[in-house]
Amino acid sequence: MRVSPKNKFSPKTIFGKPSTKALLWVLLLLIIWELAAQLDFVPVYILPPFSKVITTLWYEIFNGNLPVMVGRSLFVLIEALAVSLGISIVVIWLCRKSKTFNSFYSAVSAMMNSIPSMALLPLIIMWLGIGDIAIIALVTHSVLWTFTIYINEGINAIPKIYREFAENINLSTFKQLKDVYLPAILPNIVSGLKIVWGRGWRSLIGAEIVFGAIGAAGGLGYFINISRLNGNMSRVLAGIVIIAIIGIIVDYGIFRRISVRMKKWGMKNE
């Protein structure tokens, strides 16, 4: 009965053909990198061989250095995401309550969304110093506006019929939110988070590098920067590699899994 050739692979697409191909390309690049360094095409202090970077990575993981730095970065990022989520809930609630606030917030978020967080960095340092609060503020800025725009769009796109059925059975406001609105906007929450997490992660690393340069300590960005100051190129690259690895883990391990589940419901998630 099942003849569609597409179907044959679809459940395994993640580990099936497309990503195998991607993996091969990455492998090819790594081989070129390794060869270029080993054959002395580039000096070691500019580009150490990949194998050396891996050894360093291994070493830094097992001496506990890197896990502490990564843990700290992730912790700050999660703090910032939580703050953003909290503010989003309040803001969206206000937007739904008041048309005036909604138009005010639309204007502000459109404007703020176009300012890169690095452009706000000097301002934030002057206002908040160089501590965690400043980093959280910075990451929140890179996250909040886009996120609320996504959620708002999601709420606007909830089919009227879901709301009408909820009203029909006299569902309490809380249950409407929990059992109807939340699952209905889940695709938007996920695609919003997916974009926002990448942005937040980037501005976090950026801020840590800058803050590290002017005296604050901690985080992956700091690790990379301090390694540069020490002239330890393989540690710099190890830091960069770990950033890529974390990106892939979050994307494949979390977001793709949720997407697969939502596909099962037939709900869009781009």
Partner 1 sequence: MNKPIVYVESVSKSFGEQVIFRNLSFSIKQGETLAVIGHSGCGKSTLLRVIGGFEKADSGEVSVNGKIVHQPARTSIMIFQDFTQLFPWRTAISNIVWSMLAVKIVDSKSKATRIAEQYLSDMEFLPSNYNKFPIQLSGGMKQRVSVARALALKPKLLLMDEPFGALDNLTRQKMQIVTSDVCKKHNITTILVTHSVSEAIRMADNILVFCRDGKIEIIKNDKYADAKIEKLLNIRH
* Interaction between residue 156 and partner 1 (CB under 8 A): no
Shortest CB 257 distance to partner 1, Å: 16
Q: Which stretch binds partner 1 (CB under 8 A): 54-62, 71-79, 162-170, 208-216?
A: 162-170
* Interaction between residue 180 and partner 1 (CB under 8 A): yes
Residue 232 in tokens: 């330890």
Q: Which stretch binds partner 1 (CB under 8 A): 71-79, 125-133, 216-224, 260-268?
A: 260-268
Q: Which of 202, 189, 182 is nearest to 268 (CA)?
A: 189
| Subset of residues 77 to 96 that bind partner 1, contact rule: CB under 8 A | none
* Residue of 20, 170, 214, 215 that binds partner 1 (CB under 8 A): 170
Shortest CB 77 distance to partner 1, Å: 28
Q: Which is nearer to partner 1, 99 or 264 (CB)?
A: 264
* Interaction between residue 270 and partner 1 (CB under 8 A): no
* Interaction between residue 165 and partner 1 (CB under 8 A): yes
3-class secondary structure per residue, the chain: CCCCHHHHHHHHCCCCHHHHHHHHHHHHHHHHHHHHHHCCCCCCCCCCCHHHHHHHHHHHHHCCHHHHHHHHHHHHHHHHHHHHHHHHHHHHHHHHHCHHHHHHHHHHHHHHHCCCHHHHHHHHHHHHCCCHHHHHHHHHHHHHHHHHHHHHHHHHCCCHHHHHHHHHCCCCHHHHHHHHHHHHHHHHHHHHHHHHHHHHHHHHHHHHHHHHHCCCCCCHHHHHHHHHHCCCHHHHHHHHHHHHHHHHHHHHHHHHHHHHHHHHHCCCCC
Residue 218 in tokens: 């901690």
Q: Which is nearer to partner 1, 99 or 160 (CB)?
A: 160
* Interaction between residue 7 and partner 1 (CB under 8 A): no
* Interaction between residue 155 and partner 1 (CB under 8 A): no
3-class secondary structure per residue, 65-129: HHHHHHHHHHHHHHHHHHHHHHHHHHHHHHHHHCHHHHHHHHHHHHHHHCCCHHHHHHHHHHHHC
Shortest CB 206 distance to partner 1, Å: 37
Q: Which is nearer to partner 1, 21 or 268 (CB)?
A: 268
Q: Which stretch binds partner 1 (CB under 8 A): 62-70, 77-85, 140-148, 157-165?
A: 157-165
Shortest CB 260 distance to partner 1, Å: 13
* Residue of 71, 183, 198, 247 that binds partner 1 (CB under 8 A): 183
* Interaction between residue 175 and partner 1 (CB under 8 A): yes
Shortest CB 90 distance to partner 1, Å: 25
* Interaction between residue 173 and partner 1 (CB under 8 A): no
**Contacting residues toward partner 1, per CB under 8 A:** 159, 161-162, 164-165, 167-171, 175, 179-180, 183-184, 186, 264-267
